Each structure stands twice: as C-alpha cells, then as structure tokens.
Structure 1
Amino acid sequence: MPVLRLLLNGSVATLLMAAAALTATAQDSSLGPFPEGHVSASSRKLAPDAGPRQKYAIVIGNQSYSHAPQLPNAWNDALDVADLLAGQGYDVTLLKDASKRDFEGLMQRVLFDVDRETEVLFYYAGHGVQIGSENYLIPTDAQLDQVDDLPFETVSVGSLVSILGARARLQIVILDSCRNNPFAGVKLQDSLGPDVREVETGFASLAAPVNSYVVFSTSPGEVALDGAGDNSPFATAFLQAASLGSIPLTDVFDNVRRKVFVETEGVQVPWDSSTMVEDATIASVSATADTTAPTEDNGTSVARGLTLFAASSAELLPVDATLPTPDISIAAPLAPAVPIGATLAQDLALTPADTVGLAEPPRGGRLVLLDDQGLQSAPVFPLSASDLGRLGFAYVSGPTVSFGQDPVLKVQFKLDLNGAPKVVQVDLTPDPCDLAAADHLDPEGVGLARFANEIAPEAALLACQAAVAREPQNGRFHYQLGRAYAALRRHDEARTEWDTARKLGHSRASYAIGNAIVNEARETGGSALEAAPEEAMAYYREGVELGDPYAFYALGRQMVRFGKTGQDRLRGYDLLMRALEVGHTYAMNELGYFYLDEKSEYYDPARGLRYLNESAARGDIYGYNNLGLVYMNGLGGEKKDARLALDWFTKAADGGHPNAPGNIGTLIATGALGKKPDLGQAVEWFDKGLERGDANAGAYAAYLILTEGAGGLSPADAAYRAGRAAALRDKKSVERARKVLEALPTEAVDEASQRLLQALGADVTPDGAFGDSSKAAYQTLADQHGDTSVETDPVERLIDIARIHWSTTPFRVDLY
C-alpha cells in the first residue's frame, strides 16, 4: 500500500505559521490556540545558531503528456537545472515525466528527507494552470474531463509550498510553467460546494510560509514561452544567472527577469514573491561548469551526486535479488542515515592522497556526508580520503516495504578508486520496533508502516520496550511504544509515551495525543462521532504546523463536521482536500461520507462515490466498509447489490473494522442475500461487532433473540446483549437496546446482570433471582470501580454493571 502525504494550501499555512509564541500561554493561530508549551514553527525554523545545514533540490521535467500537448524543452530544462544544482552542492532528486502517483511518492519522500535544518529548492518545468484562486501543476497522465477530477489528476502548488514550508528551514520554489493552457474551456470543482470554475491560463499570485521565495517564469495570468532552442527562455536565463557564483538570491532573479524580458522582447516578465527573513544564495561554491555543455542522455550525472528518481529506482533491492558479488559489504541498522564511511576507508586501505569517485549511484537511497551531529549534506565526488570517512547512506522511503521473516533491505552502489570499480553493498536490518509498530507517513519514521489493525500488540510491546531501553532519546521508538500500548488497551501508558515522544520532537506525537484526548470516552463507551474538545484541537493544530499529514486530516474532519461557521467548514475542507490530493485515504473516506449525505446541501453522489472508490483502491478497510454500505443501501444512486456489499464488508471485517461485522449480520438478518435468513449466524456476526464497540450490532442481536428466538437463544441472552449495548454511547442504538430491555421479563434482565457479575469474578449463580448475594457482589464491584450510584431498578442495574464490565475490557480505540 502506498504511503501518502497530506498537505495544506499556502493561504492556510501562512496563517498557521505567522504568529510568534507568547510567554507562559499557548500561542494563537487563525484556527485557535496551540497546546501549552508549543514552540512556533518560525522559532524552530529560524534557530539563531546557524543557517541551513543541508541543501536539497527537487527538479521535475514534464514533457510527454498523455492528454495534453508535448513540451519539447521541459526535459532538457530539468536535466540542465538539476546538473547545475548538483554542482552547487545540492542533493538533487530528479523526476522525468512525473505522473500523479509519482507526485504522491515525491511528497512522501519530502516528508522523510527534509527537516528543519534543510534548504529546499523546487524547480518544475511543465504544464500548469490556474483554477479559481489556486494554481495547479499537471502530471503527465492527467485527464481532466469530469468536474470532480481536480484532486485526483493535478497537484496544488499551494499544497506543495505548504509541505515544503512546514518541513524545511527555507524554500525556493521555481515554476517554469504556464507554457500554454492544455485544458482551455474545461470546468472543474475546486471548492466545498457544487460550483465549477474554468481552467485558466497562467498562475495566480501565491501566499507562502515564512522564509519562502517563490518564482514564476512569467507574470500572473500570462503565458511562458517554451523557446525555440534547447531550453526555455526562463531556464536559459536561470542557468546563466545561477552560475555566477555565491550571490544573493534576489540578485539571481533580478538578472533572470532582465534577461527574459530582453530575450522575449517584453512578451514574458518573470515574477516573484518573497517572505524571506534570512539571506540565501543558490551557489555554495563558485561555479566553473559550462552550462551550455551537453548533458548525459541518462540524466544521472553520477559524478555530481544527482539521483534519478523513477518507479524502478525508488525501492531497495529485495532480499532475494540477484546481485553482483560485492567487493565491500556493510551491515547496518535501517535508519534515516547510516554512517558507512569509516568502514569504507578501512576496507579500501586509502592513503591520504587517494580520492574516490562515484561510478554508479545507489538505488533506493542516496549518499550523504554526515557531520558530528549527524546532519547531512550532499557529497561532491571525487572525495578525499578524509571526506570519505564522513560518508553515509540515507534511506529514501519508497512504497511501503512488505513484511517478511527477518527482512534485510539491500542496496548497492559502485565507487571508483583510481580507475578501479569497487562494488559496495549495504545490508540494512530494520529495528524490530519499526517492523512491529511503525506508522504510515510518520515524518520521523524510516518508511516502514503498519496500520493499527495490522499490529500484533504483545510482540510490538516487547520490541518497542527494548528499543526505548536501548535508545531512550529516540522519539520514534517512544511513539511506536505508545502505539503498542494503545493496541493493548493500556491507554494511560500510551499517553505517557506520546508525551515523551512529543518532548523529544516527534511530530506525529501531537496528533496521537489529540486522539488520546478524543478517545478517553471511547475507551469504555465505544465509538461515537463527537466534536473534539478544545484541548485535542490544540494538539491537532500543532501537528498541522509540524507538517504531519494525519493532523491535517484530523483537524480538517473536525472543522468540516463541527465547524460553527461557513468559514470554519471551508478551512476544514481545504485541509481534507490537500490530504486527498496526495492520496490520503482517511480524507477520501471523510469526503465520500460528506458528499453522500442526502440531507446535506452539498449532496453530490458522483463526487462521493469517486472518493470512496479511490480509498478502496488503496487498500483502506474503511473504504471497503463504506463501499459495502453504498451497495447494501443503494446510496448515491447505485443499485443495491447485497453480494457485492458482502464482499466489501468481509474484507473490512477481516482487517479489523469495528462496524463491518454488524453490517454483515444485517445483510444476513434481512434476507438481502436472497435466501432464508440464518438468524443464528446473523447473531454471531452481531456479537463480533459488539465486542468491537458497535452498539447497533448488540441492539440488533438482542431484538432478533427477543422477537424471533434467533439461534435458539433465551430471553436472558437477549438481555445480556441489550444491556451491554445500552452501556455504550451511540444514542440511537442505546434507545433500541433499552426498548428490548423494557420488553423482557425481570428474571431475564437479572440473569444477564448475574452473568456479567460472574464474568467480573463474582461468586454468583445466574438464576434470575437477584438476591442478597448478587446484591452484595454488585455493591463490592461498584465500590472497587468508584461507582457511587448503585442502581435498584433491574434495567438500570444491568446497564450499570455492563459499564463496569466494559471498563475492564476497553476497546481498541486505535481502530476507530
């Protein structure tokens, strides 16, 4: 399953990042306060000791479009810019003809590769358009022929700028785009409601996070020229101006503006926008390269540290891959950056006069130089013997690595020692804690991931306890230990670990703490969709500011569902849409629900179904369950299809979805599957749902037992299920369960109470006569659990005992 990235647009990001911290109280953003002890993004990004320690560049050339005109110079422009930047000390990632999924993978890589000590330069050559007030880059496979295509076919520039700005210390975004409008006249939805806007030529102006420099190759709303030579006029001017040495950023683009204006005879005028608060340059060394020299056909420019990123090179080699016999083998733990230089220097027996070149770059990662604090910079080959000692391998996260028995991830590259090639192999072994409990899209993760329903709790606990004991200052291990505790329903211990992870700078911990606050009532009361308390919202805001995709989703969902104003809902929608643009399945499910609500003014079935299908296509169990509901109930104009619904529900139930078992029970009980209902089988499925916190499943099972004698079960069996359902928090289901209890004889209700007391360890006999011994057992348990209101009414007493019972077996709220 792909690991995807959730983003925000530039305007919201600007508002979130502009405020400064207040003394002793939480800082306020445009969306509300942050949690106490929060440190603003600006403070993190602009630490006073030094500027960026790593220069990281992303260069994209989109030339060969499937459904739009070709751009003859885009690939040349990207190759030449990438080669120049590699020579200026940037660690360059180069993409050719990027599809929508390639962009999603790129966002994921940014999440892992970029930190607050990084300067990022993003260069894009290709088609781009304006829709409404937002700008969009066009992937090579984009096909815009339906009004709801926008988030699935394009990439929002605002999203891109926001994610870079949230992670990096400073960013330079260069858009050599708007070369024409390939979708003139097409109208698309780009807002919360049904309104559509026409695809316009050019780009609109753009708000950006602090310490950003955004450059457009032409003025807002205008067309940029592709050029008659090997490069566009803008790329030609940029290559020349950026080769002049270490001069201020503003001087570089002043030169570019003048050159482009003169060369195009005033037709094209580059435009820029800055929120820079630090001095910046592009060149870190005086450039000596001839920018007009031909570029290698394969575009790898390996001697200058350029990484060609494509689907075939984004993965590490599998453990059983056929590999050349290495000259040097290095075993290391899988980590964001692994020191390998000392071993290389020793095995190569270098003299001080030796230099080492790079004959072939690694797949699935890149080579970096590490300082004494572990911070990375791009190496410029050939390396001296002393510099080789600082060499490291930085793992580049690709698609989620599948889990096997003791997986070892292998990577090879080839060095050149005085003309002799040397094959180097690095075997990376994941930490057992990462294998057991790593999370998707964790900004400080290592690229491995398990959804909550995939965690084996006991194994994860042991692995992560060992990891924390070994590395107590590693926030990632504390966060993952918290996930293990949550899976074991040990929620207080989970919260403690997440608090520690947050203090150690782990971004995902803020979202986890927010969820822990929301889930406090769910632990013993089951699932219920409610507005998050303000304390949880504050932690979600902090996660948004730190660039965590799960926080974007969580905050957006709350604002769309429970926002008090239209502006709140628009902001929440914007957060969810940025998630959806990069494939975040939770946001897809939320927006699918949103648009399939027939009572809503925003009802749009085609749009809603598109979101759910996209989620299911990415393997999300909630997408599976939602599609099951569509075909069970005929939502969005779809025909009812019980067999298809059963298939979707079964896949969801197998993955741990809390409500899917109850939905299967409903299909069976109603006879929707086209045969006489097996009510006993239906009750079995309802019981599975009730154990996962589905109150509706418990109430339905109780009703079938009461009215139909389902499964040959007794009235006491009905009371046992109804009492447990009535102790949960789903209001409609609680009402149904109470109606069943009111229709049952007192003896059945009391016997159910006695069964629960017995399950709690009381020495009572379930006989339906709630006598002195049963009352004494109830009183004892109530005292033990701090229950001060002992009930005498049989129904209320059963529900109260059921609440105590649920408190001893809390739900897997990490699955809600």
Structure 2
Amino acid sequence: MVALRLAALVALVVLGTGAGAVFAAERVALIIGNSEYQAVESLDNPRNDALDISVALEGLGFEVILGRDLTREGMQQSTADFAAAARNADVALFFYAGHGFQVDGQNYLVPTDARITRPDEATSQTVAMAEVLGALKGSPALKLVFLDACRNNPFGAGLQGDPRVSDGLARIGNEADFMFAYATQPGNVAYDGTGRNSFFSEALLHHLYTPGQPISEMMIAVRRDVMTATGGQQIPWENSSLTRQFTFDTRPPGISQEALFYQVATGAPDNALMQLYVDLYPQGAHLGEALAWLETGSQTRSIDPGDSTEQAKRLWTLAQRSRVRPLLQFYLDRYPDGENAVEARKYLELLPDLQNSTPAALCERLATHPNDATAENSGVPFERLQRNAVVAIQACSAAVTQSPNLPHYIALLARATVASGDLGRAVPLYETAAARGDLRAMVSLAQLKESGNGMPQDIAGALALYEKAAEAGSLDAMINLAVTLSQGKLMPKDDARAIALLERASREGSAKATYNLGVLRLNGETGEPGEALDYFRRAARDGEYLGYRAAAIMLDKGGGFVPRDPAEAANMLLRGAAEDNGAILTELTQQAENWSRDTRTQVQLRLAAAGLYTSDVDGLPGPNFSEALERWRNGGFDAGVLPE
C-alpha cells in the first residue's frame, strides 16, 4: 500500500527537445495511467501506456505532468496542476488509460482506490470527466483529449443491470477547439493489449513522430492500425471541433519510414542494419537492393561519410519513428554522447527486447497478412510464412489461449495452418474467426469460397462475406467488391456503387483505392480529370508509390486538366525515386526521353542543391545524372531541397 500512496505523487517532467523543432508557444500535457487497482481487476497496460506516451510527448516539446496509479486525491491534484499549466498554453493535451465507465451519459475515470457498489457512489469515488474539462475552461489552448478507458464496467454485480450504467464511454464535448479521441467507439469496449501497450496507445506511439502529419490524418492512421491489429474488433473514434489544424511533429514531411530505414542502413554502412531492414520489410521497395548488398558484402557509401551530424540526426529520427530497439542501441553504440543519447536511453528502458516477445506479439510478427500492415508490423508474405509455419502455429496457438476474446489470433493461426499445407484444418479456423467478426478471416474465407479451394465453390457465400466485411470496415473487402461490381460478372454491374466503395476505402486509409480513384478521374469515368492530381499525391503520401509517377506525368505534360509545372513534377519524381521499387530511377536514367527537358533540368537543380550532382544543369541525361540519382535513392534524400 505504501507503493500505491507513493505512486499518487505527480511527477512534473521538464520540456524535452527530441523533435529538434522550435515551438511558438507552450505545449502542456497531463498523462494518467492507472493499472494497480485496490478493489477491482488490475490492468496490464495503462501505467506503461502513460509512461511511454509521456516520454514521446516530452520529445515533441510538451511540458508533461505524469501520474501513474493515482488515488482520487492524486488525480484531483494533478488535474488542478494541469489547469494552472494550461492557463496560457497554446496546446493542452489530456491522456488517460485505465478503468472508465458511464452513468447517465456522464463519463467517470476510476482512481486506484475506488470502491463502488452503487451508481450513486460514482461521483464520490471517481473523477468525473467533467472535472478535467472544467479545468480547461477559459484556456485559449487547442485541447486534445485521448481516452484509452473503454473497458467493461469493473465493479461487477453492484452496477450490473442498472439501466443508468452503460458499457464503454459516452460521447462528450460540443465546445470549439476540442478533439476527443476514444480508443473505441462511444458505448463500445476496448481491449487491453497483449504486450507492453494497449492497441490504441501502441498505434499512437508509432504515429506521433510522423513529420508534418496533421492530427486528422494521424487519427486515420491510428484507426487503421488498431482495426487491423484487432481484426476489426476495436475501432478508434474521435469527435472534433478544432478550428485550426495541429501537427505533433512540425518538421517538414520526409520520406516513408521504410525508405528512411534503407537509407540509414546504406549510409551507416552496416550489414546488421541492412539485415534488420530485410527482416522488418520482407516486401519492401528496396528489398532487392538490400539483398544484393548483403550477398555482395557491399560497403559503398552513398553520402558523405564525414557528415556524422547528419547521419546521427537521420538515425535518431528513424529510431523515434520506428521504436525499434536495435536502432536505439545502434544509435547509442555509435553516438554515446550524441545530442539525443539521454532520450535514447529512456526509450531503451521502455521497449522490450524482441526475443522476449509474448506469444501474441510473436504470432503477429510471423503470420500477419501484408494487407494488414501497421506502422509496427509490415506483414509477412506467404512464401516467408511457409518457411516459418511450425513456429507460427505454435505462437498463434498460444496467443489464442492467451487472448480468447480476440478472434484475430484464430485468423492468424488459420493463415499459418494454410502455410503449413493443412488447408482442411485451416478452413474451420477461418470459419470460427469469421463468425466472431474477424475481418481478415471473412476476406480469406470469401476468397476460398470464390475459388473453390478447400471447399465447394460458393459464389453467393463469398459475396455475402465480402459485403459483411466491407460494411464492418475491411479495405480489402471494399476493393474486392468494387472490382466485382465494375466487372459485372459475378454480380450485376454497378459502377456507382463500385466508386462509392472506393471512395469510402480511400477516406479510411487505402492508398490503393485513392490511386484507382485518380485513374478513374483522369479517364473521365467519375468527377473531373483535374482532380486526379490530388488523388495521385494523396496515394503516394499514403504508400502507393505509383502515385508519384502519375502525378509527375500530369505536371510534366500539363494540358487542359492542370497547369504545366516542371518544378513540381521534379519533386514528385525525386520523392518517388527515393521510395518506389526503382522504377522511376530506371526510367529517368534509361528512358529519359519520357520526360521533358524542363522537368529533367529541375531534377538536376535539386540534386545539385543536395550536393549530389556537379555537372552542367542542362536537362540532358548522362553518367553523372544517373550516378546522382542513384546516390539520391541510396541515402542522399534531403527534404530540404524539395520546396513545399
């Protein structure tokens, strides 16, 4: 009990500098995570979630008030401290992880010393969410509220069946400049995670450090990650009345995390880092180059080996974004007294070793479908899963036992079982997971029914599963249905509904759907042709790298749809050359005539500004131009030479 009382003390953490950004006004945050409850079921993740979120926010310039395992008195005191800190703040953020419930439509956060037997005791034993919101009244700050507190009513029979008590949390907030982000939909129940963090907090941690990403786009990415990690069982939700946009990491947008990882490995240079890239991105755009590097033992540097400051900065940026323990250790080994060494050691204390993974984490790492990739897990191609099928089956079987309420582990076990060659055993597993609402299982089972693989062909059954999965939020099901509707073979042709499905998939984070909508607009099949440019840009930003080339073509050619803009075409080409599978680099070096001389000149100007091209800026192809492009792709990318 002494430990619990000590834990009620609030720790004030000073401003961090990890993001390397200069903030115009103060950012403050109150972070509370309650795990060790005295009278109700304890939770594994909240105190970890609170600590990890606090460290991440410090690095983004927040002054953090951190409280873990707080009593009611401790929560009220920390709320008062937060109110004082937020009085003149520009941004005020509240994050709570722990037990929470609603009574008569009002939300209550549960301190560790709460003992409730009747609904009317909620006000005296808990902290009403209204108290926290009241502390922010009068503050000019942009107010961000994150609630990872939607688990079941923890007080059992005392509140069970009372009509005033509902599952999950109620929708709240109607004042301007608030954003409320829930771990799941209001009234629904969220899951504790199977590792160090909850599914919601883990997704947040992986997206806070995406440079230049507005919070609205960040929440789409967080929602997709949580949905895919839980097979659609948990869907984060937000209610926003923000009157201005907000970005956690204010640095200019850079390249994708995967491309940055490859460039850091080539610039190091280090075979262990390159092998880690291969392990983490088994379908990465740079996989062929990485494997060639490892096979030949190439140690050719692609950027100035003397620029250790720039290398350290890029490595630290990658380590922050990816939260991969070996990268943090590599940073400390190479730069033990580096600018971010203290922060790196903090992160190392938080992140578990990959070798100590829970069965669920190992199952996810070995068996996740590539179309269910998240910021943490890029998914595993089927051929690779086949090589590790036995280990995957063991891990996923243990995960099913460990997390019986999450049918997604049954779906992952089914995929591993298919990879082992036992389709007969896999089908009942898919059927079980699909019946319990898992999106991946629904889509996989629909594909088996459609093809007649392992079971009698059942087109109607397949389409019904696609419909159900699409309605529940599966991007794969939406796209598959859209294709089927546009073809008109298995069901009546319906172009309008096909486009509506693609539009929904695009809004919910599918880069592939966004790209296809761009193609449809360019071809005049929907919308205006000029709108295609924005779709291609968005698709590229979200990971469909064909979008870079498509946008560049429109900007290079100009015409009636968009104004000709060689400078912006060059930006698209260079971003694509850094991130795609090498197609743009090959085209610029071997089919340079496909692009106007003006656009090639703009490419050369940017390569020269990056210190990679030293020949005449004349728009003509040649060995020096090709070498500069290769250096750009293999470590020379510099967002600073690409105008925003």
* TM-score class normalised by the smaller sequence: 0.3 to 0.5
Q: Which has the larger radius of gyration?
A: 1
Higher strand residue share:
1
Larger RCO, structure (CA 8 Å, separation 6 or more): 1
| TM-score of the two chains, using structure 2 as the length reference | 0.43
Higher helix residue share:
2
| TM-score of the two chains, using structure 1 as the length reference | 0.35
